[in-house]
């Protein structure tokens, strides 16, 4: 099929850049099975866990790393209830150390909706834990750690949110001198003052410790996304809050880059097969509850190889980008257009109505693809063949619907191309 060799090159290049990025991240990145076997990990995680190599990690059961086994059970329980949660717990490394880590996991489901893998980012927060515990032991230890802590620490009065004390790292991070920060109100450096006041009220009215994210401004006007750990304390006779700030702006950008590389097609920016599969599983679960239909269209371009052969792969790539934009504009916001690779696309239409309704949508798609595309001084034109499979008649699982839509697409090609065919089933007759 046209464009396959170029697409393999694109995928290999994207995979190489993805792996290179993972290996240079300053945080641990992993994939484990639900049972606790480490499948993939970057070098930062190997070093964090005191291993000699990735192979050392892959030979062990992650449950053996937990200082408290119940931490693992609780972690899995919360992850099953929510697709993305974070937890903190102690791990015993392979070289005998005990470290505190914060885990940002994400459950990856199989087509049946069961948790198959757990992907995540692991951060060593031992230093922050040491700071928190040491602050409770003695004023002398507190002051030493306060000044030399890696994270910014601010102490501010509850009344007026006036900053009473800061450490050296806070001055570095915000760009102010210590004497400039002391006496300043947090309102002067906060992006959302009202939300900040709400968080302080919750801290004063509930738990003694609270973790959240917020945005602050530096002296030069730049924005910082902060991870904040706040606790109440009595400071020189007045009610105050000790606030530990970590700049996570760069980390969040890296997380977003990883997310995009994992779930977006690098050429068109459309969702890829993984993201489409996640959305299809969710759409099927919703359709079962509401007794609705879900339609899957498998689209393959006709004549795309001829474009690549006559005009070159750059024109072919631009044609794919143009058609991706057209498809996105043509459909509803609730629909999903995904590129599988080469000149193949999958279109998910949740709750699209009866077969005649989706047939009308398919004909609109074919007409839009048929329109010439002006690229590099040429008017390029291709057609499309679409295979249709509708839940529940043509399949009740994500895998079955994809397979049947693919088979229907080949039936459309065999019937002369530039047309849509619904999955024929065992009868061999098109619906």
pLDDT per residue as tens digits for the range 351-384? 876 667 888 999 999 999 999 999 988 999 999 9
The CATH number of residue 245's host domain is 3.30.450.20
pLDDT band at 11 (very low <50, low <70, confident <90, very high): low
Whether 280 and 411 map to the same domain: the answer is yes
Which residue, 70, 94, 124, sits at the end of a domain? 124
Output the pLDDT for position 6.
53
Domain count, the chain: 3
Output the pLDDT for position 12.
53
Which residue, 124, 139, 157, sits at the end of a domain? 124
Query: pLDDT above 70 covers what percent of the chain?
Result: 88
**In-domain check, residue 16:** no
More confident residue, 256 or 37: 37
Residue 39's contacts (CB-CB under 8 Å, 6 or more residues apart) are 31, 32, 33, 58, 117
The CATH number of residue 396's host domain is 3.30.70.270
Whether 54 and 82 map to the same domain: the answer is yes
Whether 42 and 107 map to the same domain: the answer is yes
Whether 244 and 282 map to the same domain: the answer is no
Judged against a pLDDT cut of 90, whether residue 327 lies above it is answered with: yes
pTM of the complete model = 0.50
DSSP characters over 29-95: EEEEETTSBEEEE-HHHHHHTT-SSHHHHHTSBGGGGBSSHHHHHHHHHHHHHSSS--EEEEEE-TT
pLDDT band at 142 (very low <50, low <70, confident <90, very high): low
**In-domain check, residue 9:** no
Q: Token digits for 303?
A: 């004549």
Instruction: Give, as one character, the DSSP assignment of residue 185.
Output: B
Whether 303 and 271 map to the same domain: the answer is yes
Closest CA to 366 of 387, 351, 348: 387
Instruction: Give the domain range for residue 135.
Output: 128-250
Whether 189 and 119 map to the same domain: the answer is no
**In-domain check, residue 347:** yes
Mean pLDDT (the chain, rounded) = 86
Whether 331 and 410 map to the same domain: the answer is yes
27-56 burial string, b = 16+ CB within 10 Å, else e? Answer: bbbbebeeebebebbbbbbbebbbbeeeee
More confident residue, 16 or 417: 417
**In-domain check, residue 257:** no
**In-domain check, residue 260:** no
Which residue, 250, 280, 315, sits at the end of a domain? 250
């Amino acid at each position: 099929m046209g464009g396959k060799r170029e697409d393999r090159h694109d995928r290999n290049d994207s995979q190489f850049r993805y792996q290179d990025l993972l290996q240079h991240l300053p945080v641990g990145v992993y994939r484990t099975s639900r049972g606790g076997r480490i499948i993939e990990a970057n070098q930062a995680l190997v070093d964090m866990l005191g291993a000699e190599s990735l192979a050392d990690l892959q030979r062990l059961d992650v449950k053996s790393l937990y200082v408290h086994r119940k931490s693992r059970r609780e972690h899995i329980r919360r992850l099953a209830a929510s697709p993305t949660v974070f937890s903190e717990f102690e791990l015993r490394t392979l070289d005998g150390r005990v470290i505190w880590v914060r885990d940002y996991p994400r459950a990856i489901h199989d087509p049946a909706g069961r948790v198959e893998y757990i992907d995540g980012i692991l951060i060593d927060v031992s230093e922050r834990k040491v700071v928190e515990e040491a602050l409770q032991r003695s004023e002398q230890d507190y002051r030493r750690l306060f000044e030399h802590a890696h994270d910014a620490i601010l102490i501010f009065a509850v009344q007026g949110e006036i900053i009473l004390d800061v450490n050296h790292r806070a001055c570095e991070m915000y760009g102010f001198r210590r004497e400039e920060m002391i006496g300043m109100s947090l309102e002067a450096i906060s992006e959302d003052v009202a939300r900040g006041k709400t968080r302080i009220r919750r801290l004063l009215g509930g738990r003694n410790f609270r973790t959240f994210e917020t945005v602050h401004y530096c002296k030069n006007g730049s924005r910082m996304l902060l991870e904040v750990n706040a606790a109440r304390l009595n400071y020189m006779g007045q009610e105050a809050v000790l606030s530990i700030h970590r700049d996570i702006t760069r980390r969040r950008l890296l997380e977003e880059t990883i997310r995009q590389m994992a779930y977006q097609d690098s050429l068109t920016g459309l969702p890829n097969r993984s993201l489409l599969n996640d959305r299809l599983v969710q759409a099927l679960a919703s359709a079962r509850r509401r007794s609705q239909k879900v339609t899957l269209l498998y689209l393959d371009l006709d004549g795309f190889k001829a474009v690549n052969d006559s005009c070159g792969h750059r024109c072919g790539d631009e044609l794919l980008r143009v058609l991706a934009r057209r498809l996105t504009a043509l459909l509803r916001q609730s629909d999903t257009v995904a590129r599988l690779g080469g000149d193949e696309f999958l279109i998910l239409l949740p709750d699209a109505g009866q077969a005649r309704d989706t047939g009308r949508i398919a004909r609109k798609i074919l007409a839009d693809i048929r329109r010439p595309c002006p690229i590099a001084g040429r008017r390029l034109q291709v057609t499309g063949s679409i295979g249709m499979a509708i839940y529940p008649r043509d399949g009740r699982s994500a895998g079955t619907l994809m397979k049947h839509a693919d088979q229907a697409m080949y039936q459309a090609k065999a019937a002369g191309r530039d047309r849509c065919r619904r999955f024929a089933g065992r009868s061999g007759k098109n619906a």
